[in-house]
Structure 1
């Protein structure tokens, strides 16, 4: 793992205008010498979050957070310093050697949050592999094709399938994953004896990504109707997943939302995915039809205009 040299870090920093990076997450408006917006780190109604283009720093006069462009991404997206450097370099089109990228290939795995995110990323890859490469996943793949989704769209959203045969627990057992970590992941159901079994079976799997683009939870849609089971089953609330805060597709849609100056709120995941495939790239969905204060606040930081496109 190669440490990114100071001169490379400085090259990335000087090639970047912090206002451009922050502007992807916060609506900034000029006031005097600085730019101001609603702080992305806490709820507020009066903008107290400032960005100085002269000094290339941010500061919130309310919560006290501040720093340079790397610190902003580390605080907001909970990423490591090397990952923040790579993200900023990519944003500013600064070429980085692959050896430095290896240090920031995914969420930091030294923290419990990073380890839980890694579990979810691995689960998403397994479910996706079952969907697109196995015989048992073919009915689910046929269902998605019948709904009009292309292979490219299925790949973009890493859609998957959880079969009736519970494969996730053996998959992690082979990798000697920590039992307590698996318990806390929300991916399993625990019986009275402390045994874990897969939470999702016979469901088309929709990975639910956080604002940083990391899989934090899943929603599974029943492939065959069953009266004793809900049509959609979400992961339970965990340290990674709070359904009142997460917005489906927000990570992918955010650039289009900023470009269009508006966001379209759909009722379900399939609505968002189908709309995106049809060229409507600024679509998001809440977890069900309830729209929470936290979700509205996340939207408000990005745009003032919200189009609601729920089913009749």
Structure 2
């Protein structure tokens, strides 16, 4: 079973993962709204691992906490040794409001909490989920570097970080992976961030490679969302933009029919064709979707087909920002200079 998914080197520090990962966020109630049975989700995890999808992605904020606890249960009985486990810290919820933090005490407390919930001795890849623009990145990285030295984490990652933040972080301790939203209709990272990662030997993990599910079934997907699903409020899925964006899906769907694959496989295949240093982590709660996602690994695209696909979803063809509030994204993730911290702390 395990040979269906090839392996890739993520970054240049020695981490090897499955070429397709599994984003686990939707497996716990929370941002995507619908309740799932724990039994079904653990069965899905085991199916993924047995199929060769061994790179699992979670975060302390999914749930919050519920997703890490679920993975901790799912990895019992010899499963832990077979996976590369990634989790994240950096978004804390107090009084119903999200706060982004990167101060050393918080970093350490989060890591200890994640180790407990996941019930593991060491986290393979530990990401800063969002960048705290009040704390110099060198300060956050200093604490992460200590956690590596103590054997609590193996590799360090950043998520939604700008090119300059990545450079500064990498100078303190090598970064193994940067996680960003990358899909046919989200390509703002290609200009500066992708070349920076490649220059420094950092792997790229693409979250929402299916446009948060849009490339699975287009506007139908939005109609079927529960009222608690936060995607309902994303600008691209609002009716005034959806009507326009639906054309993108229709053209992708038409090309998929020509190629004998599904639209989601075509959209995922496009991400694979961006390079061997790119690992998409599509999420799902259904075994049949997981199998379909694995099938995308064998969809081959010619340079002409890639150009055609990209023409459907060019930046001016997509209506709506990717988030309601773009403040917590790489475009706004620069941190103050280290000297400012030393003078006040």
Q: TM-score, normalised by structure 2?
A: 0.28
* Structure (1 or 2) with the larger CA radius of gyration: 1
The structure richer in helix per residue is: 2
Could you say which structure has the greater relative contact order, defined with CA pairs below 8 angstroms and 6 or more residues apart?
Answer: 2
